Amino acid sequence: MKHGLSKLFYSKYPLYIILAFSFIIHVLFLVKDPGMIFNNPEQIGFTEEQGEYGGRDASLYARMAHQLLETGVYGYDTHHTDEVVQNAFVTPGQPMYLVIIFSIANLLHVDELLFAKIVNMAFSVATVGLLYFISNRLFKSQWISLLSSLLYALYFSPLHYFRTTLTEIPSIFMFSLTLLVFLKAFQDNRTRDHVLFGIFFCIMVMFRPTPAPLILLGIAAVLIRYPFRTSVRIGLLWVIGPLVVIGPWVVRNYLAFGEMYIFSSHAGNSLFAGANPFFKNSFSDYWREMTAKGWDQEKYAWYKIKQGFSQDFDFWFSWFTVGKTINLFNQVDGQVHYINYAMMKYFKLLHYFIVVVGLSSAILLLKKANIRVIAMLAIGYILISNMFLTIPRYGFYIIPMLCILTAYTMVKAPQFMGRYAKMIR
């Protein structure tokens, strides 16, 4: 009997139970719909359209997808009511994702938004499974793998975002899938896996460009592990992805605007918004000074950052490290739309537990080889994000990695405590 239970545990059945549990919770949120943003958008200052799609940005993505389907013109938030204008304000991942979903929904004669929620739900539940396989690749531990999946299955933010047309659900799925394929490629060194990694990585950054610099970690890992000639071969295989995925976007931007935008044309906005330490200054004052100098937001932001670090280094350094990191994780993303939801206090406790244990593990266990990949991804993402505007919505993106780090620490805690006890005897 004991052997049978052990065999059951080391099978995939516990994972299937967690996936089923995650699916049931998603369905309950889809049916019960406890958030104000969907039921009472006017209470939080949203229009009916914004409430329907899940927020201002969500409604703009949906409107952009409809514009693409109806006119074939790519344009985001153009502020024009009587004419259609094309731009390169956002990368094409989310708009094209919605175009595909809306097109299939119309072919099947089902509601577009409902179908988008169902597709998002599938990707959200699939991410729970991906964390299991990522953890298993790294640690070869059933306990860590299952706990990683369970922590994310219990986390709140996916239950909000799968019902919106925002980037969070598909981009986090692509991030997790890309990491899993990278681990396979790195460990097995198969041509197919390297090609797939390059393609998946580029699709991921077309949804959310922020993680793009993390490719440097992958390049460093390959150069350390493999001989130079092999590393060059791997690099050439990775280049297929940018040529196939990003290449058409760059060519389109050059033909349309004479600029070879690799990602988007509005990065200065978030840089500008993040160049105000602890929001001490008035953005209206910033705007007046920027206008008087005749600069754009990006140039003005770099001016303020350089000026700040040269005049008050400690204050600005604390903002770009501790201050912005706190802003990333100071609350469960989406919680403001569920202030009357009784279960939210438990979701908050889980959030802070995952953030504190996960970030502490990333810093304290960085030297451990099997955990270094996840730790460096988490730290690297936070450092990159801290260059720009930091809000909980962007912090949510790295929560799956913190779930893995938390699961590892929880499982290994007795072992760590045993070693510590021996040291102090």
Cα(388)–Cα(410) distance, rounded to whole angstroms? 32
Percent of the chain with pLDDT over 70: 93
d(CA 338, CA 226): 50
pLDDT given at position 42: 83
Q: Is the pLDDT of residue 44 over 90?
A: no
Q: What is the pTM of this model?
A: 0.93
106 vs 104: CA distance, rounded Å: 5
Residue scoring higher pLDDT (273 or 4):
273
Neighbours of 140 (CB within 10 A): 10
Report the interhelical angle of 369-385 vs 112-139 (nearest 10°). Answer: 140
Give pLDDT tens digits for 113-152. 999 999 999 999 999 999 999 999 999 999 999 999 999 9
Distance set, CA 166 to CA 120, 224, 243, 383 (Å):
10, 37, 26, 23
Q: Which pLDDT value is given to residue 419? A: 64
User: What does the DSSP 8-state code read for residue 109?
Assistant: T
Rounded mean pLDDT, 217-235:
96
Q: What is the pLDDT of residues 279-319, one digit of tens each?
A: 988 889 899 999 999 998 889 999 999 999 999 999 999 99
Selection from 260, 257, 232 nearest residue 247 by Cα: 260
Q: What is the pLDDT of residue 265?
A: 80
Is 425 a residue whose pLDDT tops 60? no
Q: What is the mean pLDDT of residues 383-400?
A: 95
pLDDT of 30:
95
- pLDDT in the model for residue 83: 64
Least confident of 7-11, 97-101, 180-184: 7-11
Average pLDDT of the chain, as a whole number = 92
Distance CA 182, CA 199 (A): 11
Query: Pick from 397, 403, 55, 404: which is nearest to 208 by CA?
Result: 397
Would you tell me the crossing angle of helices 13-32 and 2-9 to the nearest 10 degrees? 60
d(CA 105, CA 121) in angstroms, rounded, equals 15
Cα 392 from chain centroid (whole Å): 11
DSSP letters of 277-324? GGG-S-HHHHHHHHHHHT--HHHHHHHHHHHHHHH-HHHHHHIIIIIH
Query: Largest Cα–Cα distance in the chain?
Result: 79
Under 8 Å CB-to-CB from 55, ≥6 apart: which residues? 37, 46, 164, 166
For residues 243-252, average pLDDT:
96
Residue predicted with more confidence, 2 or 209: 209
Count CB neighbours of 389 within 10 A. 18
Residue 79 has pLDDT above 80, yes or no: no
Output the pLDDT for position 267: 65
Question: Looking at residues 9-29, what average pLDDT do you find?
Answer: 92
CA distance 36 to 265: 33
pLDDT attached to residue 304: 93
Q: Which of 97-106, 159-168, 183-192, 271-280 has the lowest mean pLDDT?
A: 271-280
So where are the chain's domains? 2-265+312-424, 266-311
Q: Which residue has the higher pLDDT, 418 or 143?
A: 143
User: What's the rounded Cα separation, in Å, for the pair 274 and 224?
Assistant: 35
